[in-house]
Amino acid sequence: MRGLPPAAWAYVCGVAALAAGLIGTSSFARLDWTKLAVLALLFLICDSAPARLNVERARVSLSFAASLASVVLLGPAGAALLGLCALVTGQRFFAPVKRIFNGAQFALSGYIAGTVFELLGGHEFRRGEARWVEHVTGPFLGALVTFVLVNLSLMAGVLLLSRQAAPRELLHESGQLAIGCLGYGMVGLLIAGLWPRVGPLAAVLVLLPLFIARWALEQAHAQQQAHAATLAALCQAVETKDFYTRGHSERVSRGSVMIAQEIGMRADRVEAIRYAGMLHDVGKLGVPTKVLQKNGPMTEEEFAAIQLHPMRGLEIVREIGFLDEALAGIMHHHEKMNGRGYPMGLAGDEIPEFARVISVADAFDSMTSTRSYRPARSVEAAVQELRRGMGDHFDPAMVEAFLRALDRDGWEPPDPVVLPDDDVVETTQQDHDDPSAPLKVAGDEARR
Amino acid sequence: MRPRERAAWQTIDSGQLLLIATAGLFVIVAITQVAAVRLVQPDIAIIFGVLIALGELFRMVMPGNREVAPIASAGAIGYAMLVGVGPENAPPHAPLGVEAATHSPLQVVAVTAAGMVVGSLPHIAVGRSPRPDAMARRLFTVAVVALCFRPLVSLHLPWQLLLLLMGVVVVLSCCTDVVIAAMIRAEAVRVRFGIALRDEVDAKMALCAATSATAMLIAVATTAMGEAALLIFTVPILVTQFAFRRYAGIRATYLQTVRALSRVTEVGGYVEAGHSHRVSKLAVSMGRELGMSEEELLELEYAALMHDIGQLSLGDPIPGGATVLASPAEQRRIAELGAEVIKQTGVLDRVAHIVQLSSHPYRTGHEAAAPGGEADALVPRPVPPPLAGRIIKVANAYDDLVGDSADRDRGVAVLERLRLDSAAEYDPTVVEALSRVVDRRTRL
């Protein structure tokens, strides 16, 4: 935090001073100190195990529940004091400035939310009295929304002033954060509602299932990672036979995802296409090695073996449940818009969207990689070739999307292939993916 | 576990039948009794019944083909532990300041059963056959809580004591759940009860804790604040259910992926069609026979499915794909290459270790060391292969020699050959386990 700009310094000092002022001027005469101590302990325990979100820089922890419970149980002054606990939370790497700011902003959020709760009349109902839940829910929601808003905007302020984030990014991320915060905050109401009956045990009963859920989600996350890693490793194993196509699946997967994101696919479909891109050529294993390594024109039978590889791929991955839509993408990734592709000869819109995406990424990577019969082409030349194939071979919309993504994110072509010096190396002499050098099939010249 | 091909009711064993019959009888008694004395506090009963029905509607299958319904269980146990129904109509000086809940244990059983049946109807409507054994088990866990806790309610105990008793009772219900599940499982997949029990505890502990905590939460909150609290206090278990469902889904997908991709060796013509799948099924049956825990079985299954993946790196397939006929040095090379591939994942190191050692002979003395300048001939004594590796070696050899032929004599002859080779090449206890598995299979 050494290079903090002056504006950010001023902002942090301002927030800290405001929090200190508010706490200094409020009265703690009617504050229940034991309750505060228990809640503070809860806050610290929860905060030491924050949840993983999709957002990289921020973490949401169940300490939100403790803060919101304190809003109901202790009022503004107590909530502000509880917020100060963030000063000492467990994350060691937090610089002192961050700690002070964190404490101050939690205190401010707590104080303001507590005030809103009182203004809305939440404190007028005695806890444990009939219909408490119904009466208090409204004011509580008000306080909750206030708390989250204040918290997020104070956070956004410091990130903007210290230039760690662009406004657009922040807006995008805070949507997700807000949902997480609101959910955890609601839990505060549960704790506060039960507190008068069973005391701190309320927190245990409410938080235990949530901690277990968190644990389960983490397990799920780990499994997901393991799954992705296993899939990638197995795909690599399929590729090891050919020096020139190593990494092809991985790059096609990356290219497909770029296109999918560019045309605004839903997140789960992007995920599916990531796997589909990875798996699109597993069926190539069913093509005899001697066909792949053949130099010179192929016979009709050999060409038929190549044309069947998408079907072979489908055969292998059909049983993987999550791939439903991706299956079509794998099967049809060699169809052409003019209907001259294989295996089915579909044309235009008959070709599944996934297949049209993969087809572009597949051809592009093939062209920008080294092949035994030619060096790698430059990205510009490959783009030219894609443009030439628009409408005839490729879906123009997909090519456009890919070129836009390419402009923005760039493309890392594979390293030039260095063949080891022994004679066991096997190389393909023709690449079925390469649109600029169609497979040579004997007696086929007339038809083309 | 593979999804069952036969309908659930066709695979019921005698123990399950006893369980289901007892539960059925119990439900009939409960419903008759409730019908005779009328439903006590019907609005509360209906609200809980609806919660249980919804919970049953969203029941899920956890890894190991375990059917659970956390929301329904939490709701039903919460109903069984309900002390009061909120302060609204409480008479002055009522204990705890709330109107007491006066339903009987049998009413709890009746309401739970009704909720379960209603919640199962949509499942039946879309053609998913219900699992009566799992439902009976859930009903029993609720019945245990109801029978233990309901009589205590009329004693008008203070909160602290009530909470303590609730804690004891839910632990008891968790134990019931685990024991019944382990008994069913021991019979269904033929493992020793002790192992089944340990597996159940491992698989269920977290979910049981979450369900129990929520059940207490529901009971306390509804007692203190009335039925409106029921709605918001089910939130924690909803979150838990979501998390576990996600976890179960990803686990299942992972297994599917490995199963599917293990077939690349078949498509590539390296091994016979169905080889990996048959070896993995055989290996898992043998592992279970030899008392491996579920976690070890999963690793064994992964290793068995991928044991031939190293062949992908070979230029030309081994003739017939049968590694058992290849030279020891070549077998080792395939295993090493396979382990290399699996290590690439970064997460399946133990599986890689199993695959790597699955080609090693059982006796790792000097007479079995690979002939001719192998690098590990320098190692004085190689590590004896792990049990999983020995199992895969035997299962692989058996399948290489028998294939998918259903010829009994051939199977017997191959077993005899493996027996002759045991003690040096194969582990005798593993070969015996194979013989029991094969024997059972041919009898079926």
Q: Could you tell me if A307 and A174 lie in one domain?
A: no
A236 pLDDT higher than 90: no
The residue ranges of every structural domain in chain B are 8-254, 262-443
Taking 50 as the threshold, does the pLDDT of residue A76 lie above it?
yes
- Going by C-alpha positions, the residue among A276, A344, A365 that lies closest to residue A313 is A276
Instruction: Answer yes or no: do A86 and A201 share one domain.
Output: yes
The answer to whether B250 contacts A214, with C-beta atoms less than 8 Å apart, is: no
Query: Does A227 sit within 8 Å of B232, measured CB to CB?
Result: no
Q: Which residues of B touch A198 (CB under 8 A)?
A: 159, 163, 220
- What pLDDT sits at residue B375? 47
- The strand ranges marked E within A84-142 are none
Q: Chain B contacts of A133, Cβ < 8 Å?
A: 225-226, 228-229, 232
Q: pLDDT, tens digit, for every residue of A157-186?
A: 888 887 776 777 777 777 777 887 888 888
Residue A328 belongs to domain with CATH number: 1.10.3210.10
- For residues B48 and B115, the answer to whether their CB atoms sit within 8 Å is yes
Angle between helices B42-57 and B105-125 (to 10 degrees): 40
At A46, the pLDDT band (50, 70, 90 cuts) reads confident
Taking a C-beta distance cutoff of 8 angstroms, is the pair A212, A262 a contact?
A: no
Residue of B nearest to A317 (CA): B260
Q: How far is residue A157's CA from residue A341's CA, in Å, rounded to a whole number?
A: 55
Q: Select the residue of B214, B247, B346 nearest A223 (Cβ to Cβ).
A: B247
The CATH number assigned to the domain holding A214 equals 1.10.1760.20
Q: Which pLDDT score is estimated for B369?
A: 43
Out of A187, A225, A234, closest to residue B261 by CB: A234
| Nearest Cα residue in chain A from B213 | A205
Do A264 and A328 belong together in one domain? yes
Which regions in chain B score pLDDT beneath 70? Answer: 1-12, 315-317, 319-321, 364-384, 443-444
Please tell me which residue, A228 or A373, carries the higher pLDDT value.
A228
Q: Which domain holds residue A315?
A: 240-409
* Minimal CA separation from B376 to chain A, in Å: 23
Percentage of chain A exceeding pLDDT 90: 11
**Number of domains making up chain A:** 2
Q: Between A and B, how many residue pairs show a Cβ–Cβ distance under 8 A?
A: 193
Say if B238 is an interface residue toward chain A (CB within 8 Å).
Answer: no
Res. A128: pLDDT tops 70: no
Token pair for B164 = 């303590």
Chain B residues whose CB is inside 8 A of the A289 CB are 315-316
Residue of chain A whose alpha carbon sits nearest to that of B241:
A213
User: Same domain, yes or no, for A71 and A211?
Assistant: yes
Nearest beta carbon to residue A320 from set B86, B88, B256: B256
What confidence tier does A428 reach under pLDDT thresholds 50, 70, 90? low
Residue A313 near residue A281, CB atoms below 8 Å: yes
HSE-up of residue A9 (Cα within 13 Å, Cβ side): 6
Contacts of B238 in chain A (CB under 8 A): none
A215 shares a domain with A244: no
Closest by Cα among B181, B216, B199, B179 to B73: B216
- Rounded distance between C-alpha atoms, residue A139 and residue A142, angstroms: 5
Which H or E run contains B66? Answer: strand B66-68
Q: Which residues contact B67 (CB under 8 A, 6 or more apart)?
A: B59, B60, B61, B131, B134
Which distant-in-sequence residues (6+ apart) come within 8 Å of B340 by Cβ? B310, B352
Token pair for residue A208?
A: 């235990």
The pLDDT, as a whole number, for residue B374 is 47
Residue A338 domain flag: yes
**Same domain for A154 and A79:** yes
Q: Which two tokens stand for residue A192?
A: 């506060």
Whether residues A308 and A348 share a domain: the answer is: yes
CB neighbours of A287 closer than 8 A, spacing ≥ 6? A305, A306, A308, A309, A312
Residue B246 to residue A216, Cβ atoms within 8 A: yes
The reply to whether residue B228 touches residue A225, judged by beta carbons under 8 angstroms, is no
Q: State the average pLDDT for chain A.
A: 81
Looking at residue B371, what is its pLDDT?
Answer: 47
B160 C-beta neighbours (distance < 10 Å), count? 11
Instruction: Say which of A198, A236, A318 has its CB closest to residue B344.
Output: A236
d(C-alpha A386, C-alpha A381), whole Å: 9
Under 8 Å between Cβ of A137 and A188 = no
CA gap A1, A17 in Å, rounded: 19
> Do the domain assignments include residue A235?
no
Answer yes or no: is A228 within a domain.
Answer: no
Whether A207 and A265 map to the same domain: the answer is: no
Say what the pLDDT of residue B10 is.
Answer: 55
B237 contact residues in A (CB cutoff 8 A): 209
* ipTM computed for the complex: 0.83
Helices and strands (H and E) in chain A: how many: 16, 0
pLDDT of residue B210: 92
**What one-character DSSP code corresponds to residue B368?**
G
On whether both A154 and A250 belong to a single domain, the answer is no
Partners of residue A237 in chain B, C-beta under 8 Å: 264, 309, 312-313, 341, 344
Q: Are A255 and A296 in the same domain? A: yes
DSSP-derived secondary structure for B373-405: S-GGGSSSSPPPPPHHHHHHHHHHHHHHHHTT-
- Verify that A256 and A394 share a domain, yes or no: yes
Burial A288-323 (b: 16+ CB within 10 A, else e): ebebbebeeebeeebbebbbbbbebbbbbbeebebb
Does A184 reside within a domain?
A: yes
Superfamily of domain B262-443: Hypothetical protein af1432 (1.10.3210.10)
Instruction: Confirm whether A426 is domain-assigned.
Output: no
Identify whether residues A96 and A206 lie together within a single domain.
yes
A420 located within any domain: no
pLDDT digits (tens, 9 = 90+) for A331-340: 899 999 998 8
Question: In chain B, helix, strand, coil percent, each to 5?
Answer: 70, 0, 25
